[in-house]
Structure 1
Amino acid sequence: MQFIDQALIEVEAGKGGDGIVAFRREKYVPAGGPSGGNGGKGGSVIFVANENLQTLLDFRYKHLFKAENGERGGPNNCTGAGGKDLIIEVPCGTAIYDAETSALICDLVENGQRFIAALGGKGGLGNQHFLSNSNRAPEYALPGLDGERKILRLELKLLAEVGIIGLPNAGKSTLISSLSAARPKIADYPFTTLIPNLGVVKKPSGDGTVFADIPGLIEGASEGVGLGYDFLRHIERTRILLHLIDATSEDVINDYHIIQEELKAYGRGLAERPQIVALNKIDAVDRESVDLQGLATKLNHLSLAPVFIISAVTRSGLDALLQEIWRVLDEVNLVEER
């Protein structure tokens, strides 16, 4: 399945049905009496969040979505049938923007949440509505009104509590596969991960917490360089960030600064998000030439947070890392409840 997280579409609600001119056949009633019915209401375009969807792939090849028009009115004061609403299902976490103004219109986060994106047009009035003392046989009716038409931009932002970030080949995919049942592609070269991966990690309480493995960021990602910019939006909803650093790197401290600068440049509060730092791949480090504790101490001074020394491959240090993640998550949740 292809992972598509952006789409540009046009939605058009249905046109209201026309009112009609009709007359009854009654004795002593001039011209039979007006009996033209109203037109039916046009169908609306409605978005519904569906937790079973994970991508905007359905919008890649289809860009126009139109609801049904209302039926014209009938004789004997019969109202025309209303047009059927068009229901468009999208993944939970889909943000809907006005493509012309870039204004956020709606953010569909919870399963089953609905949003009317385009309202159907009203049906036109039949000639029965224009009966008056001065006009006993009106011979005109109103046409139905057009439905709303909009150009929308859809953006999917994954719903995860913990976002795993870091430079390419820092071991993010290996970590999420070690902690959860997720099985992302893993290889010994940069940019192995081309799409965000989600994994559910069980807490000691038994509840599941969603972790998101974000494709590797590089210097300049916030300006559109590499893959990072396209996927930075997926950590906007996360409560905390897990910054993974390759302990075998030639300059661990510089690697840390690169990611921090990209978070600041992207904005949207990512740089201020609670962060946990972990030195990964210690199983591949030459302990005689690399001072892991010294690197951890330097990172601790920079991040002002505990730094964990781990190996996603051997699972060394993962228990202590998870305990810290649960602790920070509980703190964040407590603050949000207040």
Structure 2
Amino acid sequence: MSRIVITGGCGFLGGHLVDRLVGQGTDVTVYDMAPPPPDREIGPGRVRHVVGDVRDAGTLASAITADTEIVYHLSAVVGVDRYLSRPLDVIDTNVMGTRNVLRRALDVGAKVLLASTSEVYGRNPAVPWSEGSDRVLGATSAERWSYSSSKALAEHLTYAFMRQAGLRATIVRYFNLYGPRQRPSYVISRSVHRVLNGLPPIRYDDGRQTRCFTYVADAVAGTVMAAESGRADGECLNIGSDRETPIGEAIDLVCRLAGANAEPLAFDTAARLGDGYEDVPRRIPDTAKAGRLLGWRCETSLHDGLVKTIEWARRSPWWRESPVPDRQAG
């Protein structure tokens, strides 16, 4: 059995977290419905792979055992294409699955690191967002907000388990992660995928929307620090770069570093994604709390992170040949 359990350990962030922990000599149990990606096979040794859905409490219990010390709860249904087409799966997995994880962790006395998202802030115009900033959302009829609301409810559940039942837990909110192995459904991964396949990148609207792109290795470092630090118990922390970059500039940088001379295809968000999607003009974290409690800061510039991501993508034909969803956004 393993003292560390990672739900969603075959996903993008989960896979990098597994690599980090195993590299430190830690035994890890991965709990996931999916197999690991082709360039990262989970075999015998320090990693145990349990196939299961977090909505299945019985199977989950076979992964989170009595000797588990920390549960990194990363399992979620995420991505614009998924919450526009599968909002029920988003809500069920992110809410009911989280409740199962929290209940089981409480039963065995393990700490939970809950992976949340900058999406919980919605479209609050008062940036940068601190952990106590207000949530500003659109109508419930827009699928755009199902992911945000489900992750916020997962946070409420976590706080409830902490305050009412005594669970040890920390919540981290990630801001626009990117890097090797990411599904080509996000602005950086989609742009890299397209230009390396000889296709022009896609830009929504005028490309002036801004994001703070966070290299996955920096996010993993902050995640491990938050899980292992007693100072983070009971806290919520923003994990992200504080460097604001217009999406159009990020796309241009991908093209330049990949050696591609391609004019982006411009799409109107409403026409392309429908009424269920609403864009967020600016998304910027205040990361002072993570710096104060953990000594963490984002170390990798967008330029350097893109160089690493593009180099990896060139060496990974399986990823370049992977399908791309029809409906995507930044």
Normalised by the size of structure 2, how large is the TM-score?
Answer: 0.32
Higher relative contact order (CA 8 A, sep 6+): 2
Answer 1 or 2: which has greater helix percent.
Answer: 2
Q: Looking at secondary structure, tell me which structure has more strand per residue.
A: 1
TM-score by length of 1: 0.31
Q: Which has the larger radius of gyration?
A: 1
